[in-house]
Structure formats: C-alpha cells, structure tokens
Amino acid sequence: MNIKLAACCFVIAAIALPIAGFALAGGPRLPVSLSRDFLMTARIKAELAGENFSSLVRIKVRTSSNGVVTLGGSARSRNAAYRAASIARSVNGVSAVDNRIKIVVRN
C-alpha cells in the first residue's frame, strides 16, 4: 500500500511541477479545463503505476477537454489492457475511454 501511495505522489508531483514552475515564472494563467485534464491524467497514471501489472507503466494517457481519455502504448496481455481501461473509467470526470492499447507478447 505504501508503494502505491508513493507512486501516486511521484506521478502527481511530476505532472504538477512544470505547471507550478510556469505559474511562478509569470506566465499566463492556465484555463481551468486544462488543469482539470492534467489532474485527470495524473490520477490515471498514478493508479496505473500502483497496479501489479508491470506492463501498465508503459501505457500513454491523453485526456481531452470533454473528459475523453485515450489510452495508447502496449501491454503484455488483454487482461492488462482491460484493467487499464477500467482504471481510467473509474476516475472522476472521465466521460469515455478510447482504448488503443496494443497487446505485445514477449518471450
């Protein structure tokens, strides 16, 4: 459980740090929808990082302004790809999931 919490914190910090730096540099304020998309993406990546499927770490996550999440990259099994989509659907604010994960079987 502590590993999952640490992974969640790491992913959220990795995504939030550039936003904070940009704001401190005096750049224009980010629109609310853009920051909400970043947070949804960070939550999904954190949940994926905390899973036992090691192949879920290689999944790419993109979130559009209307809450549609696109999953890409590769997974080692169909179950891992389905689990990634299930995790994405469970995040608050996600309206739909476009699962484009490719199954790559490695020997």
Q: How far apart are CA 22 and CA 61, in angstroms?
A: 22
**Could you tell me if 71 and 97 are in contact, meaning their C-beta atoms sit under 8 angstroms apart?**
yes
* Beta pairing partners, 59: 73
Phi, psi of 58 (to 5 degrees): -90, 10
Q: How many distinct structural domains can be found in the chain?
A: 1
User: What pLDDT, in 10s, does the model give residues 65-78?
Assistant: 788 999 999 888 89
Q: What is the pTM of this model?
A: 0.66
Express each pLDDT in 31-66 by its tens digit: 555 567 788 888 888 888 877 666 666 789 998 878
Domain hosting residue 9, numbered range: 2-103
